Amino acid sequence: MDLKADGARKYGSGGVLTSSRTLTWRGLAADLRHHPAGELPPFKPQHLEIGIAVSCHPEAVVSRKGNGLPQRTRVEPGIVWLCPAGVLEEDIRISEWHDVLHLYLPIERLAQNAELRNGAGIRPDSIRYLAGLHDELIRQVGWAVLAEMRAPTAAGQMRVESMALALTARIAERYVSGIPASGPVRASRLLDERRLHRVLEYMAEHLEDEIGLNELAAIAYLSPFHFNRMFTKYMGVPPHRYLGRLRLERAKTLLATGRLSLAEIAVTCCFSSQSNFSRAFRRAAGISPLRYRREAT
């Protein structure tokens, strides 16, 4: 099932302010939408939808009914809605305009993360239909997703996969009914020095390729969830940030040699555009790529 289709089917093609549809993300899709006052037709999503209010009219209210359960939410920035896959939503009414970041997680990702719940997969019907949540972690992940959409980074795919894992873990921890919580990490889930070296070597040798979190986790013989956590513990930074640093150093080397254009360096270092490369380079190095080239040659 197309992860990017639920938003268009539910809300239509209009009102999209920013979207991940043009990006090569896997395991998470996102749309920032402007919603005017009005009503929406009944809808049954194929994936888990997480909505986070970004801005709103001071009197905005959203009313909805999911599988017969009515909800009424006064909108304020940061407020969260959950709509699990398979829930029939009806009577969706919007009193005043508001902008919402819609995140979509595939049901397969939830089912595959059985380790989060002591071996029991997260069924779509075990996730609660909720509105008006104040969840700081979900909000922070949402803002990070939005930042990545607006200014894609060199390790964007891996960063998005990490954020999808964080959302899945949060859902498993707080918003799933009828399944026991996870226990402590077993020794077999640890990242030893040999596996870590193999992962770091692979990252260094594939800087010009699109590297995913699942790929690195497979090299370490760990699940993506535990690999992400163990890598961060041992290296002090998450995998996507470490990869971003490697690509920045690679970009500095290419700039110093003077052989490639900025556009070519952007592509080589896995940036989606020259402008995004220049923005990320200035943010990390404190100067523009062109100035770095002039000073390095």
pLDDT tens digits, residue range 171-214?
988 998 865 554 444 444 678 899 999 999 999 999 999 899 99
Give me the pLDDT at residue 160, please. 94
User: Does the predicted TM-score (pTM) go above 0.85?
Assistant: yes
Adjacency order of strands within the sheet including 29-35: 16-19, 29-35, 98-105, 48-56, 80-83, 130-133
Confidence of residue 4 (pLDDT cuts 50, 70, 90): confident
pLDDT for residue 113: 63
Measure the CA–CA gap between 180 and 280, rounded to whole angstroms. Answer: 42
- Express each pLDDT in 271-295 by its tens digit: 888 998 999 899 888 999 999 999 8
Res 5: pLDDT: 86
SS3 content of the chain, % helix, strand, coil (to 5): 45, 20, 35
For residue range 78-125, what is the model confidence (pLDDT) as tens digits?
A: 999 999 999 999 999 999 999 999 999 987 777 666 555 555 567 778
d(Cα 51, Cα 101) in Å, to the nearest integer? 6
Pair of tokens at residue 260: 């490639």
Residue 116 is predicted with a pLDDT of: 58
Span 53-81, average pLDDT: 97
**184 or 156: which carries more pLDDT confidence?**
156
Q: What is the pLDDT of residues 211-250, one digit of tens each?
A: 999 999 999 999 888 899 999 999 999 999 999 999 999 9
Helix (H) or strand (E) holding 15: none
